[in-house]
Amino acid sequence: MTSPMDSPPTPAAPRYLLVMTATIAPSANAQVKRSSPQVRLEDYKRALRFWLSYPHPAAERILFLENSGADLSDLRAIAETENPQRRQVEFLSLPVHEIPPGTNYGYTEMQSLDHGLALSKLRPATTHMIKVTGRLTFPALGKALDRIAGSTSAPFELMIDCRKLGLFRSGHDARVQLFVCSNAFYDRVLRNSNREMNSTGVRLLEHLIYRKVIPFKGRPGCYLRFPCNIDPVGHFGFKDRRYDSPRTAISRGMRAMLRVIAPNYWF
């Protein structure tokens, strides 16, 4: 008979740092249609207000990383005066870097993460980071994290959504608007990974991150599919179209259904 002392210890609850990556004034070669600094600032303000009120420990600590040299005073004021959950919020303005030829915005986004996490005063008090594209919100994030909690005795290392590309495209990629990983996983696997980007096979950040995480498929504590749909709310950067537009309703419904009836379809 197994005694309680023989049971594996329950992993401690993760302490999250929600990292909002931001580029308020994108460079000319960033290839984004939603490029107006004024419009983008309003996106970031709306998202920050959402996370400040989000009733889940996922947003207990917030790190806002901005990499275009923009004024953050409006955002700082929101954190000081519109913070009902009394979240800890840290703002970092990072050096402006050019996007190397042959790559895209993802190069500088990963560079911002590397620099910002190294400088953050909040990170040492956390065990996990939640990377979100700062203009977007993800209302179902807490639901997904709660589903994962306690699902295995292995330490929680990674949650990201990998997918097969469309019907007429070959290959796979990883959605990078949102992912969650332990601080140790980021430092061991993802830090400095943008140096591997090039003008051919890994030009896009989605391809790079997929290549970095796919070796962990099937490992306890690593989830390469979200346990439920975590649909973003906000606008595409490249298309300047809302994520919840009628044009995306069918694909959202299909993803939700396939997660239940064919959770491994993506591979």
**Could you read off the pLDDT of 76-124 as tens digits, one per residue?**
999 999 999 999 999 999 988 777 877 777 888 999 999 999 999 999 9
Would you place residue 2 in the very low, low, confident or very high pLDDT band (cuts 50, 70, 90)? very low
Task: Judge whether 6 lies within some domain.
Answer: no
Would you place residue 1 in the very low, low, confident or very high pLDDT band (cuts 50, 70, 90)? very low
More confident residue, 252 or 223: 223
CATH of the domain at 170: 3.90.550
Would the pTM count as exceeding 0.95?
A: no
Give pLDDT tens digits for 16-58: 999 999 999 987 766 677 889 999 999 999 999 999 999 999 9
Identify the burial level of 35 via C-beta atoms within 10 angstroms of its C-beta, where 0-12 means exposed, 13-18 middle and 19 or more buried.
middle
CA dist 143 and 82 (Å) reads: 24
Task: Judge whether 228 lies within some domain.
Answer: yes
Query: Over the chain, what is the mean pLDDT?
Result: 86
Answer yes or no: is pLDDT of 220 > 80.
Answer: yes
Task: Judge whether 211 lies within some domain.
Answer: yes
CA dist 138 and 134 (Å) reads: 11
Domain count, the chain: 1
Identify the domain containing residue 135 by its residue range.
12-261
Task: Judge whether 217 lies within some domain.
Answer: yes
**What is the strand order of the sheet 61-66 is part of?**
88-93, 61-66, 16-22, 128-133, 172-182, 158-164, 222-223
Task: Judge whether 1 lies within some domain.
Answer: no
Task: Judge whether 95 lies within some domain.
Answer: yes
